[in-house]
Structure 1
Amino acid sequence: MSDAAAARALIQSYYAAFNAGDIEAMLALVADDVAHDVNQGGRRTGKDLFAAFNAHMTRCYREELTDIVVFASEDGSRAAAEFVVNGTYLATDEGLPEARGQTYRLPAGTFFAIRDGRIARITTYYNLQDWIAQVSA
């Protein structure tokens, strides 16, 4: 398997675990010092903070990603994915509109750094104003 194919397979496994709600499987795919750049937020470093973020997200949101397309550099050190987030807003997240079970559909993308067969950086982007408009309607 080429380095690029291995990187794509790693990212596809990460998203399969995400869609299955399997945080432990996601954690197995990331480096101990994973850098997680939250959309319009700060950087969190380490598996413990990544696990805490995912627990918070699971409490506030139920999401499934569809239309996932994964790209990887030839050397397998970087990857990116574009997808659609199909979600339900379950519990009010601090500083955001009140949750009432609203649904949303949002295009998003993530950039990854890969080191030693693990995800070393996760940087996700989506249009927060679009999300706010959808859950506020």
Structure 2
Amino acid sequence: MRLLSKNTAEEDLAKNLIKNHENEIKKVLGKTGVKSLENTLTEIAETEGIEACHNCMNYTLGRINYYKNKQQEYSIESKLADKVYDAYVTDGISRIDKVNGRFMAAQNMKLDMIIEQNNKIINLLEQIANK
């Protein structure tokens, strides 16, 4: 339907879906990310239909909200990872390169938490089995 618009109905749909949330999307994805999302939504609308386009947009908004809600937690984790990294380097535990060391420190923290949780679960399961 190109009577008044140069765009197809699918392109207009993608633009309208983004327009309703453009500011929050742009903060996370940037201008190129918004354009990429628009192209993706248009393609999905053309190939899979309008419902799938709406589902993709809702999924994207959900992921953006998840990121916004976790942003402060991520900031705290990165600061803690820096402290763990400093402990590795200054305490002579290991010699690690800058970026890789920070990433490794963050992963080690998460692995330690998972190991502790698993140990608690195993202990609880053993207690249940012994009853």
TM-score normalised to structure 2 length: 0.25
TM-score normalised to structure 1 length: 0.24
More helix as a share of residues:
2
Structure showing greater relative contact order (alpha-carbon pairs closer than 8 Å, 6 or more residues apart): 1
Structure ID, larger Rg: 2
